[in-house]
């Protein structure tokens, strides 16, 4: 089904073929979307440009979301290359490795600031950047990736838990601001998947085991399931949904013991 036929979108956060952003971008492309993929730095750029060859007519562009100059250059690129946008996928997060072990209590001021800048504030900056391009297309959909560590304690997730809580609140405030423009803003909250970012979180293997044992569906999500949920929220199928956090975690979040 070509759910995104005729639509143009930007996907931020592809690092390699395991990235959730890559699974989502591939699904969007198969569904008919024209894509811009961004990459964080030159080191990742070569890989992302190589991957993008598999997606018909995908463009690539560098963007470190902490650099205002990169964001301005990205806005210029979107204007020149596409002129309008129908969707934006924010699939990125980062915290210093030393903040993702031991006690949350030990979080440094700089570690807290950086994690929130990259992982939460960037959604606000990107939504503002994208707004005129989404308006030009008559509206659209913004999607961020979050994790249940925003609501419950996952030992070691630490400062990323507070950053995801901030991200989820930003989703609601942005949904309120952009709703009159017919722009929807939502988040997906997947269970654990082995990726580069996830490898920085202590206890990933144990977490995967727990999901297999306790989630009602008795499994951690498959990346394809996450990509399908993204398609729902990015396409007109999700046209009545905004400000929402949709769990794709086999139901794990509803369990007590
Ligand atoms: N893998 C999981 O288990 C899981 C579960 C729930 C939510 N998520 C979320 O999914 C999203 C994608 O993560 P992933 O698991 O695919 O890992 P990943 O490592 O493949 O993706 C993380 C991306 O963030 C990008 N990034 C980091 N700092 C950046 C910066 N300053 N500017 C631009 N890009 C930057 C990296 O380049 C990378 O592409 C993240 O928000 C993550 O928190 C992941």
Residue 203 has what pLDDT? Answer: 86
**Average pLDDT, rounded, for the chain:** 97
Which residues on neighbouring strands pair with residue 64, listed in sequence order? none
* Helix H or strand E segment including 233: helix 223-234
Residue among 195, 207, 223, 247 to mutate when testing ligand 1 (max atoms within 8 A of CB) = 195
CA of 61 to the centre of ligand 1 (A): 17
pLDDT tens per residue across span 145-191:
999 999 999 999 999 999 999 999 999 999 999 999 999 999 999 99
Q: Identify whether 157 is a catalytic site residue.
A: yes
In the prediction, which pLDDT does 183 show? 98
DSSP symbols for 138-183: T-EEEEEE--GGGTS--TTTHHHHHHHHHHHHHHHHHHHHHGGGTE
Residues flanking ligand 1, CB < 6 Å: 13-15, 18-21, 40, 44, 63-66, 91-94, 118, 145, 147, 190, 192-193, 195-198
Burial environment of residue 83 by CB neighbours within 10 A (0 to 12, 13 to 18, 19 or more): exposed
H-run or E-run covering 247: strand 245-248
Closest CA to 149 of 110, 189, 120: 189
Q: Which is catalytic among the residues 157, 211, 247, 252?
A: 157
Tens digit of pLDDT for each residue in 209-251?
Answer: 999 999 999 999 999 999 999 999 999 999 999 999 999 999 9
Q: Tell how far the Cα of 197 is from the centroid of ligand 1, in angstroms.
A: 5
Cα 72 to Cα 68: distance, rounded to the nearest angstrom = 6
- Residue 155 CA to residue 149 CA, distance in Å, equals 9
What pLDDT score was predicted for residue 66?
Answer: 98
Output the pLDDT for position 1: 73
pLDDT confidence tier of residue 200, bands split at 50, 70 and 90 = confident
Structural domains in the chain, CATH included, are 8-251 (3.40.50.720)
**Minimum-distance ligand 1 atom for the alpha carbon of 15:** 39
- Return the best residue to mutate from 20, 146, 204 for the ligand 1 pocket (most ligand atoms within 8 A of CB): 20
Among protein residues, the one with the nearest Cα to ligand 1's atom 43 is: 93
Instruction: Determine which residue's CA is closest to atom 20 belonging to ligand 1.
Output: 19
pLDDT at 9 over 90: yes
The pLDDT confidence band at residue 202, using thresholds 50, 70 and 90, is confident
112 is catalytic: no
Q: Report the share of the chain in percent with pLDDT over 90.
A: 96
Q: So what's the pLDDT on residue 16?
A: 97
Residue-wise pLDDT tens digits, 70-127: 999 999 999 999 999 999 999 999 999 999 999 999 999 999 999 999 999 999 999 9
Rounded CA-CA distance 245/19 in Å is 20
107, 116, 212, 109: which is closest to 156 by C-alpha? 107
């Amino acid at each position: 089904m070509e759910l995104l036929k005729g639509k143009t979108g930007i996907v931020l956060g592809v690092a390699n073929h395991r990235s959730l952003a890559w699974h989502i971008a591939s699904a969007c492309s198969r569904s008919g979307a024209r894509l811009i993929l961004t990459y964080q730095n030159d080191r990742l750029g070569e890989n992302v440009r190589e991957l993008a060859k598999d997606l018909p007519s995908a463009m690539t562009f560098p963007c470190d979301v902490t650099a205002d100059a990169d964001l301005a250059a990205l806005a210029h690129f979107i204007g020149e290359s596409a002129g309008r946008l129908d969707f934006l996928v924010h699939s990125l997060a980062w915290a210093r490795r030393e903040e993702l072990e031991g006690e949350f209590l030990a979080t440094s001021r700089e570690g807290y600031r950086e994690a929130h800048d990259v992982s939460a504030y960037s959604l606000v900056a990107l939504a503002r950047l994208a707004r005129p391009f989404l308006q030009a297309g008559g509206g659209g959909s913004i999607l961020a990736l979050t994790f249940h560590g925003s609501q419950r304690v996952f030992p070691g997730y630490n400062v990323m838990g507070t950053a995801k809580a901030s991200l989820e609140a930003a989703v609601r405030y942005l949904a309120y601001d952009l709703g009159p423009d017919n722009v929807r803003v939502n988040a997906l909250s997947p269970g654990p998947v082995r990726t580069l970012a996830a490898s920085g979180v202590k206890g990933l293997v144990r977490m995967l085991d727990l999901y297999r044992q306790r989630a009602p569906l008795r499994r951690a999500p498959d990346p394809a399931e996450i990509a399908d949920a993204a398609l729902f929220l990015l396409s007109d199928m999700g046209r009545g949904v905004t400000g929402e956090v949709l769990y794709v975690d086999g139901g794990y979040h509803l369990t007590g013991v």
